[in-house]
Amino acid sequence: MEFLRPSTLVEALEARSAHPDGVPIMGGTDVMVELNFDKRRPSALIDLTRVPELTEWGGEGDHIRLGAGVPYTKIIENLSANAPALAKASRTVASPQIRNRGTVGGNLGGASPAGEAHPPLLATDAEIELASVRGRRRVRARDFYLSLRTTALREDELITAILLPRPTGPQQFAKIGTRNAMVIAVTSFSLALDTENRKVGTGVGSAGPTPLRAEAAEEFLEAEFDWENGRPLQETVVRRFGELVAAAARPIDDQRGSSEYRKHALSVMARRALSWSVTDYRKGSTRCA
Amino acid sequence: MRVSFNVNGEDVTADNVWPGESLLYVLRERLGLPGSKNACEQGECGSCTVYFDGVTACSCMIAAGQAEGRRVRTVEGLAKEPGKGGDRSLSDVQEAFVEMGAVQCGFCTPGLLVQTDDLLERTVGAGKKAPADAEIREALAGNLCRCTGYEKIIDAVHLAAERRAEAGSAS
């Protein structure tokens, strides 16, 4: 096994191109488990921790650009206002030690349907920047997840950044597990209200072969939500929203939960996330006025 | 592969390192620093927690080569930091764990000590309030102990926080 230590993005992309069966490593919180347990013996490890661009973040037009290698702790500390849903999801990742190392890029590269970052990226309509020696391209998170653990990432590409639209309304994240820490989500849900475009975004985790959206629920809420004043929604509307989110899920029965439980939990989390969002929305409109 | 880095203030080099092995393995098996414990090898238990460039991490999940040129501080280095224990044999956190009976079989202890030290650095050490129970539980959520039931550990963290705050205001 080779250990490659590129110190610039150009070098990293060249290494990736030269070693298609090599494995990029950043925080190591997934990759090292596979190595420690003899599940994987790649020809090379491509250490990305010395590529400065990957650990930077900042504004870029109407987006926040988040380097793919920024650890969750930094997201929580620095992006709670600019990326509320992702920051909330980051708080629920594993433990402090793991949050100090784990990254959104790693979450995307592993593409587990349970990854905490996915529902917020779907709900906020984030874009993922992929780069190779051939150049850079952007893929919407909504087009990134193709099938179980398969994504739009090509063999010679690295995930370099995530582009998050600046928030224009409430964003929420909720997750169900047996503990508050060190837990793989039984299921998770994210909701984002885009008040400028009057759009609703959703993201559902651990309830299908890929992270997914509840599109019927989004359309329903776009029509029902009081975008002018954020008046509290009727109970029947909130309930229907929960049902539509649950109906979009395609969960399996496994050791973490049954399909029925996951659907039920999703409908409850969706209703809660909506109620929190209405409360936030009203606070927000009071401030504006 | 050769890997050179700094451990507990000392520059060290390990030779014949297999590129897929972890920093934990290098510390224990190549550098004679067995304080960090090898239990789960998947980041679940926190027994191998070390400072890595000043931030706590599970050393089982850091590839050996990623440590090149970095600063590592293990449980063996806790009592050695200048100004925070001097030449005492135990650090404030270690003393508090002993006094409160927070150590039973001891396997999880090194990880808990490092993670507690970090919590105190970020709170009382940075001029903030001593951490309350909820904050302590969140900080230690990635460190599993199968003996103590955690109550004595939390008592020890409170005691160490109190003492570090006093030491900080006295100096």
Both structure tokens of A109:
């590269």
Whole-angstrom distance, CA of residue A55 vs CA of residue B57: 17
Q: What is the CATH number of the domain that holds B91?
A: 1.10.150.120
Test A5 with B65 for CB contact under 8 angstroms.
Answer: yes
B120 and B104 in a common domain: yes
From chain B, the residues in CB contact with A103 under 8 A are: none
Q: Which residue of A has its CA nearest to B67?
A: A49
Domain-embedded: residue A122: no
pLDDT at B87: 57
Using the 3D structure, point to which of B73, B98, B132 is the last residue of a domain. Answer: B73
Residue B55 pLDDT > 50, yes or no?
yes
Measure in Å the smallest separation between the Cα of A36 and chain B Cα atoms: 6
From chain B, the residues in CB contact with A96 under 8 A are: 56, 115, 118, 138-139, 141-142
Whole-angstrom distance, CA of residue A157 vs CA of residue A160: 9
Residues of chain B with pLDDT > 70: what percent? 95
What average pLDDT does range B108-122 have in this prediction?
98
Contact of B115 with chain A, judged by CB distance below 8 Å, is answered with: yes
Whole-angstrom distance, CA of residue A129 vs CA of residue A138: 4
Residue B97 pLDDT > 60, yes or no?
yes
Residue B43, Cα to own-chain centre: how many angstroms? Answer: 14
Q: What pTM did the predictor assign?
A: 0.96
From chain A, the residues in CB contact with B44 under 8 A are: 182
Sheet holding A199-205, edge to edge: A171-176, A187-194, A199-205
pLDDT at B81: 57
* Start-to-end CA span in chain B (Å): 45
Q: What is the CATH number of the domain that holds B40?
A: 3.10.20.30
| B83 or B78, which is more confident | B78
Counting every residue written for chain A, the total comes to 289
Mean model confidence pLDDT for chain B: 94
B87 and B20 in a common domain: no
Q: What domain count does chain B have?
A: 2
Domain-embedded: residue A88: no
Test B19 with A2 for CB contact under 8 angstroms.
Answer: yes
pLDDT at B168: 85
Q: Give the residue numbers in A contacting B (CB under 8 Å), as ranges.
A: 1-3, 5, 25, 27-29, 31-33, 35-37, 41, 45, 47, 49, 73, 94-98, 100-101, 179-182
Longest dimension (CA), chain B: 48
Contact of B78 with chain A, judged by CB distance below 8 Å, is answered with: no
Looking from the CA of A230 toward its CB, the CA atoms found within 13 Å total: 20
pLDDT at A286: 54
The amino acid sitting at A159 is I
**Residue range of the domain that includes A7:** 1-51
* Listed residue (B101, B100, B99, B59) closest to B76, CA to CA: B59
How confident is residue A148, by pLDDT bands cut at 50, 70 and 90? Answer: very high
Residue B85 pLDDT > 50, yes or no?
no
B61 and B82 in a common domain: no
Mean model confidence pLDDT for chain A: 96
Measure in Å the smallest separation between the Cα of B24 and chain A Cα atoms: 11
- Torsion over CA of A166, A167, A172 and A175, rounded to 10 degrees? -10
Domain-embedded: residue A223: yes
Burial classification of residue A38, based on how many CB atoms lie within 10 Å of its CB (0-12 exposed, 13-18 middle, 19 or more buried): exposed
* Listed residue (A85, A111, A129) closest to A30, CA to CA: A111
What average pLDDT does range B80-97 have in this prediction?
75
Q: What is the CATH number of the domain that holds A41?
A: 3.30.43.10
CB pairs under 8 A between A and B: 93
Phi, psi of A139 (to 5 degrees): -125, 135
Residues of chain A with pLDDT > 70: what percent? 98
Q: Which of B66, B115, B135 to mutate to test the interface with A (most CBs of A within 10 A)?
A: B66
B160 and B90 in a common domain: yes
Using the 3D structure, point to which of B35, B58, B73 is the last residue of a domain. Answer: B73
Using the 3D structure, point to which of A31, A51, A71 is the last residue of a domain. Answer: A51
Cβ of A103: how many Cβ atoms within 10 Å? 29
Cβ of A13: how many Cβ atoms within 10 Å? 23
**Residue range of the domain that includes B40:** 3-73
Q: What is the CATH number of the domain that holds A271?
A: 3.30.390.50
Test B43 with A97 for CB contact under 8 angstroms.
Answer: yes
Q: Which residue of B has its CA nearest to A2?
A: B19
Q: Which residue of B has its CA nearest to A97?
A: B57
pLDDT at B170: 75
What DSSP assignment string belongs to B36-94? S--S-SSSSS-TTEEEETTEEEEGGGSBGGGGTT-EEE-GGGGGGSTTTTTT-SS-HHH
From chain B, the residues in CB contact with A69 under 8 A are: none
B90 and B67 in a common domain: no
Question: A250-269 pLDDT, tens per residue?
Answer: 999 999 999 999 999 999 99
Q: Is A206 left (phi over 0), alpha (psi -120 to 50) or beta?
A: left
Residue B86 pLDDT > 80, yes or no?
no
Residues of chain B with pLDDT > 90: what percent? 92
Test A33 with B43 for CB contact under 8 angstroms.
Answer: yes
Question: A54-113 pLDDT, tens per residue?
Answer: 999 999 999 999 999 999 999 999 999 999 999 999 999 999 999 999 999 999 999 999
Cβ of B164: how many Cβ atoms within 10 Å? 22
Test B43 with A181 for CB contact under 8 angstroms.
Answer: no
Whole-angstrom distance, CA of residue A227 vs CA of residue A160: 35
pLDDT at A158: 98
* Pairing label, strands A44-47, A23-25: parallel
Contact of B20 with chain A, judged by CB distance below 8 Å, is answered with: yes
Burial classification of residue A14, based on how many CB atoms lie within 10 Å of its CB (0-12 exposed, 13-18 middle, 19 or more buried): middle
Using the 3D structure, point to which of A51, A76, A91 is the last residue of a domain. Answer: A51
CA distances (Å), origin A270, targets A204, A276, B67, B71: 10, 10, 43, 44
Please say whether the beta carbons of B64 and B3 come within 8 A.
yes
B118 and B41 in a common domain: no
Domain-embedded: residue A84: no
- Please report the ipTM that was assigned to this predicted complex: 0.95
Whole-angstrom distance, CA of residue A118 vs CA of residue A274: 19
B160 and B97 in a common domain: yes
Question: A156-171 pLDDT, tens per residue?
Answer: 999 999 999 999 999 9
B84 and B59 in a common domain: no
pLDDT at B80: 72
Test B22 with A36 for CB contact under 8 angstroms.
Answer: yes
Sequence-ordered alpha helix ranges (H) in A138-183: 141-144
Residue A288 pLDDT > 90, yes or no?
no
